Chains A and B, each alone.
Chain A
Amino acid sequence: MRKLPVYLVLALAAIPVLFPVYYAFAGSVMVPGDLSPPALFPRSGIRPGNFGEVLEAVPLARQYANSAVQAGVITASQLLTSILAAYAFVYLRLPRFVFWGFLATLMVPVESIIIPNYLRISDWGLARGPGTYLGLVLPFLASAFGTFLLRQSFRQFPAELRDAAAMDGAGHLRFLFRILVPLSKPAIAAVGVYVFLSAWNQFLWPLLLVRDPSYQTLQIGVSQLNDAEAASPGLILAGVVLSLLPTLAIVIFGQRHIVRGLTAGAVK
């Protein structure tokens, strides 16, 4: 078997990659005695109660919903603003500097402007109560990333497509939403997946902004478990597993669909 060494090397490489995944799942059902001192397997039985307890300790369910709303709104808004802007760049007349302005936004790291944004959103009273939802999404409603990607996609369509639509009496809006958007579904889905995942995984902004745990996002909720439940690694890992499920499902079952979204920027 000539391929044996290849399998061996791959198997060896897979151990460090898989171990943390395994340990997160195994630890999430371990009894305290198997976690301190730590054991490799749940040798003293399974303890699914960790899941119930962690849901009681922190409002994870609520934070799940918060994250879904936050990432969902950001995705929908970025898609809409990007579709409109991309259309304007391809089909409408705009001065050149607008293009450069859009490009410039891509080079500004969020962290370099986070303090002024924090001050502004706080001043607007969007760091408390239900207003927090708005504060969480407001700075991320538009993105040049999506605009450039969709611009690329729109440009691939021949000019005749639009002329034909115009002959049928379609104006810009109708052409865009009835013809162009349906034809660009793969590109739009790609942008959507990318934006959703980045929003879902956000860390610094919700950490700074949100004070009330019931408006907190899932990521911060899970990371705070690490402090609040430091004495019970089983609960921490149960929380991790719970918050992991949606993205894990995407990686296992939707792998092919996300690759396009992730690599979209790679194809110039």
Chain B
Amino acid sequence: MKRRLLPLLLVLGLAAACTSTPKAQAPTDAPGADALANAKGETNVEFWHSMKGANATALEALTSTFNKEHAGKIKISPVYQGSYDETVTKYKAAVQQKNTPTLVMIYDIGTRFMVDSKQTVPMQSFVDADKFALDDLEPNIASYYKVGGKLQSMPFNSSTPLLYLNKEAFDRAGLDVTKPPRTLDEISEYARKLTVRDSSGKVTQYGFNAAIYGWFVEQLLATNAEEYCDQGNGRNGLATKVNFASPTGIKVAQWWADLVKSGNATNTGRKTDDAQAAFKSGTVAMHLESTSTLRGYLDAAKGKFTVATAPFPKVAKTSTGGPIIGGASLWINGVGHSAAEQRAAWEFTKWAVGATQQAQWHTGTGYVPVNRKAVIDAAPQFGTAVTQLHDLPPSVASAGCALGVMPQARKAAEDGLEAAITDTKNADEAMTDAAGTLKSPIDAYNRAVK
């Protein structure tokens, strides 16, 4: 009997399993101001984000100010959804269940997926409907979120990577913190001088540390003016392969592996929190991280050491590019949301990128103000990122790669980097193998959206 039962149930399950969602039509029109004016009572806007620590505090300060100004009319309810990756996963589930939040913060590399998911109203439609002046937006930032010439989402928390320095460590080594290393080779050289060993030869201060974070590979390639994926960084059509196993990508992996092998750098793994903790503890002299951690660093280092910031290094002296805008942007979901909700989300978005709000956001976090008119009155460390952004030569490379499976591509780059750093494979093999694993996900994605 038991032999017959299982197959029977299996067949039953098989028959029931096939259901698929019909192809959606992307919403394009933005509701006008009357949608909200005619709405009764308070319009609630659920807002998913990935901010934590000092950045969460700063975000809540913004939303509560906005809610006070619009009491009885609009209420923004921010909900922390975990990391950017987790937010995308949860967003996918929400699309399935037809209960997306009205407003969602999605990281830069989720842009292509968000467009393909056909759930959101392009930000451009709201901009056009309101004749909102986009001129105030930093052009380099805005260009990242333009697909097909239209602004898809509103940049909000934009970051660029920085080289963080421990000033006292530089002083003790007789180095000038105002003359920071500019290239990978210079970092290696400085790291050697900045590494301190005790009498038994044990390292008490590392010259360099950074999380094994794929974002840095994307950044370094861009500084060398190289595109991260084909099809003009995925802006001319669906990208079909990634480029991080290029000679530059391999050079980056080799450089990092050598640093760790020499003992002048430590490997704290992929968790950015762990690398951040190492820098905050004062045992690391040079460190790569996003501008968005600056506020947290200044708070943590108070009384222990002085945090200095320097432009993100370039691959070599001959490199002509610059880093990419990272961070995240705000998307307004159209499917399943009333005109009043969409409008309310837009009201908040518009307000949040205002000059005053962006100045406050910048000093509370370290994120670059997306508004050019934001008047900045903050510690000098904050200025590095803004200058770096303004100096950025506009190019396809520094607009970043628009790839549907970009989160997986970032993870694959980390796989490669980690294999090289932990000496599991040589740098060439590590990066080439890692890039190879992306073939099937990219193909599958492109098949799915065609």
Q: List chain A positions with a Cβ less than 8 A from chain B.
A: 36-37, 95-97, 100-101, 103-104, 116, 119, 122-123, 125, 127-128, 211-213, 224, 227-231
Contacts and interface: CB of A to CB of B under 8 A. Distances in A.
Given A36-B280, A116-B17, A122-B93, A128 B99 contact: yes
Contact of B276 (A96, A213, A228, A231): A231
A224 B96 CA distance: 24
B5 A97 contact: yes
A4 B82 CA distance: 52
B93 A127 contact: yes
A123 B83 CA distance: 24
A229 B53 CA distance: 7
Interface of B: 1-2, 4-6, 13, 17, 52-53, 79-83, 90, 93-94, 96-97, 99, 271, 273-274, 276-277, 280-281, 296, 300
Given A231-B276, A231-B277, A211 B1 contact: no
A96 B5 CA distance: 11
Contacts of A228: 52-53, 80
Nearest to A228: B52
Contact of B82 (A36, A37, A123, A224): A224
A125 B94 CA distance: 10
B53 A231 contact: yes
B2 A212 contact: no
Contact of B2 (A100, A125, A227): A100
Contacts of B17: 116
Given A230-B277, A231-B273, A211 B94 contact: yes
A98 B271 CA distance: 49
Given A36-B281, A100-B1, 9 more contacts: A96-B1, A101-B2, A128-B94, A128-B99, A227-B82, A228-B53, A230-B274, A231-B276, A231-B280
Contacts of A213: 79-80
A97 B96 contact: no
Contact of A122 (B52, B97, B280, B296): B97
The 4 closest A-B pairs by CB, nearest first: A97-B1, A230-B273, A100-B2, A228-B52
A245 B53 CA distance: 27
22 contacts: A97-B4, A97-B5, A103-B2, A116-B17, A119-B96, A127-B93, A127-B97, A128-B94, A128-B99, A211-B81, A211-B90, A211-B93, A227-B83, A227-B273, A228-B52, A228-B80, A230-B273, A230-B274, A230-B276, A230-B277, A231-B273, A231-B277
B97 A128 contact: yes
B272 to A, nearest CB: 9
B302 to A, nearest CB: 11
Contacts of A116: 13, 17
Contacts of A123: 96-97
A227 to B, nearest CB: 7
Contact of A104 (B2, B53, B90, B280): B2
Contact of A231 (B90, B93, B300): B300
A95 B93 contact: no
Contacts of A103: 2
A224 to B, nearest CB: 7
B253 to A, nearest CB: 26
A100 B5 contact: yes
Nearest to B54: A231
A95 B4 CA distance: 14
A228 B17 CA distance: 37
A217 to B, nearest CB: 15
Contacts of A37: 281
B5 to A, nearest CB: 6
Contacts of B97: 122-123, 125, 127-128
A80 B317 CA distance: 74
Contacts of B281: 36-37
Given A36-B281, A231-B53, A104 B276 contact: no
B80 A104 contact: no
A213 B276 CA distance: 25
A176 B5 CA distance: 30
Nearest to A226: B273
B61 to A, nearest CB: 15
A101 B271 CA distance: 45
Contact of B6 (A96, A104, A227, A231): A104
A3 B276 CA distance: 50
A66 to B, nearest CB: 16
Nearest to A128: B99
A95 B1 CA distance: 9
A122 B89 CA distance: 13
Contacts of A96: 1
Nearest to B17: A116
Contact of B79 (A100, A104, A212): A212
B270 to A, nearest CB: 13
A218 B17 CA distance: 33
A213 B46 CA distance: 13
A168 B253 CA distance: 83
A123 B17 CA distance: 12
Nearest to B13: A116
Contacts of A119: 96
Nearest to B271: A230
Contacts of A127: 93, 97
Contacts of B82: 224, 227
A217 B135 CA distance: 46
Contacts of B80: 213, 228
A209 to B, nearest CB: 9
A231 B1 CA distance: 58
A213 B80 CA distance: 8
Contacts of B5: 97, 100-101, 104
A123 B80 CA distance: 23
Contacts of B273: 227, 230-231
Contacts of A97: 1-2, 4-5
